[in-house]
Amino acid sequence: MRWCNLQGKRVLHPPAWIGVVGGGQLGRMLAMEAKRMGYSVVVLDPTENSPAGQVADFQIVAPFSDKTALRKLAEQSDVITYEFEHIDAEALHELEIENHTVIPSSKTLKIIKDKYLQKMTLYNANLPVPPFCKIESKEDLVKRIGEFGLPVVLKARQGGYDGKGNFVIKSESDVDLAYEKLAGKDLMLEKYIHFVKELSILVARNFEGEVKFYPVVENIHEENILRITKVPAQIDSSIKSKVEQIARKVVEVLNDCGIFCIELFLDSNGQVFINEIAPRPHNSGHYTIEACVTSQFEQLVRILTGMPLGSTQLISPCVMVNILGNDEVFGKYTVEGLEKILSMEKVYLHLYGKSTTSRLRKLGHITVLDENVEKAERKALETLSHLKIKPL
């Protein structure tokens, strides 16, 4: 362990090791920033040559459920973090007991990875969430629909992401299919919020309890996958400060350090509801790489190593669009049309090095900086029109 005590503060100096559970694009961009700053990075992921593994010092190739592999990661690392939530919080807790540093803590992970426990924690802290409840049986579901009114969202409490594990019930005829789809899982129900905007905010909190917000951004999802992030969100300053107040309270309630993304719904009455919290860098924060003084990934490196937070100041309005796999190409692929995209000014291309594509798989993203969000959005959509995913 390379932790140093500096007048009561614990810091990690390069070349200390950062261990990352998960080798996807979030781990990749985190590893790139950590390497830039001179830290060493080890990644745990079941897929050889994972996006993060490609740029890390080395990768442990093993399933996330492999406790021996997790222990190996811990032994190599001075601090451990994770880039997604669907890992065993108990196993991380065992590492904490053995004095390994896990950020955010297993306690936070345990709360967040169970959507019901997450909502309950927020609700108990008087944070605004949509009406929700546990669902134990189909009868229960029907009864609660009676109370909440349609539409509602039936959710698996654990393991869902990018819309997987969610089912929007719009009419009573959807109930059977929804229940069948999610059969065997622990379930919860939420009232569907008729939002006018989907917002999110990144919050950073370090060991010292220092808290910094990134700008409130506006997200557009399709088929439950993030497509566009517009920065900053075009909202009243009263909404902005409401969102920041919520964000501050969320990290106070969790009482932990890390990067947190809070996704919210804004309805037509100007009310905001927390949709969900991610205890890690987030797709809607990728824009920070080029558009903020400190990227969400550098910020997490700072937090993991006990350093002061960096400025979250926005340098320029921008729009981020995701590059997703399509219906036509599966397996190995190449990306064409870059010569058109790269001829446009202030366009930043990120491809994640995933060896295969599939429908809606996140292959990369493009961030476009411009003098206002409208211009940036027009340009960002144009870049997508040029981009072609072709079989290799």
Say if residue 194 carries a ligand binding annotation: no
Say if residue 192 carries a ligand binding annotation: yes
Q: Minimum CB separation from a copy of itself for residue 10, in Å?
A: 10
Say if residue 240 carries a ligand binding annotation: no
The amino acid at residue 224 is N
Say if residue 193 carries a ligand binding annotation: yes
Q: Minimum CB separation from a copy of itself for residue 54, in Å?
A: 6
Angle (CA) 87-89-92 rounded to 5° is: 100
**Residue 271: φ, ψ to 5°:** -90, 145
Say if residue 115 carries a ligand binding annotation: yes
Query: Is 110 within 8 Å of 151 (Cβ atoms)?
Result: no
In the complex with a copy of itself, which residue's Cβ is closer, 225 or 335?
Answer: 335
Q: Minimum CB separation from a copy of itself for residue 308, in Å?
A: 4
Distances (CA, A) of 373 to 117, 177, 376, 381: 36, 40, 5, 12
Say if residue 275 carries a ligand binding annotation: yes
Burial (CB count <10 Å: 0-12, 13-18, 19+), residue 147: exposed
Query: Is 234 within 8 Å of 200 (Cβ atoms)?
Result: no
In the complex with a copy of itself, which residue's Cβ is closer, 36 or 378?
Answer: 36
Q: Minimum CB separation from a copy of itself for residue 386, in Å?
A: 12
In the complex with a copy of itself, which residue's Cβ is closer, 40 or 219?
Answer: 40
Binding site for a copy of itself (CB under 8 A): 2, 4, 6, 9, 11, 13-16, 32, 35-38, 40, 49, 54-55, 57, 293, 302, 305-308, 310-311, 315, 334-336, 338-339, 342-343, 345-346, 349-353, 355, 364
* Long-range Cβ contact pairs of 53-59 (< 8 A, separation 24 or more): 53/23, 54/28, 54/353, 55/28, 55/31, 56/20, 56/23, 56/27, 56/31, 59/23
Q: Minimum CB separation from a copy of itself for residue 121, in Å?
A: 32
Residue whose pair of structure tokens reads 């107040």 in the numeric block: 245
Residue whose pair of structure tokens reads 């069948």 in the numeric block: 180
In the complex with a copy of itself, which residue's Cβ is closer, 249 or 375?
Answer: 375
Query: What residues are designated binding site?
Result: 115, 155, 190-193, 198, 221, 275-276
Query: What residues are designated binding site for ATP?
Result: 115, 155, 190-193, 198, 221, 275-276
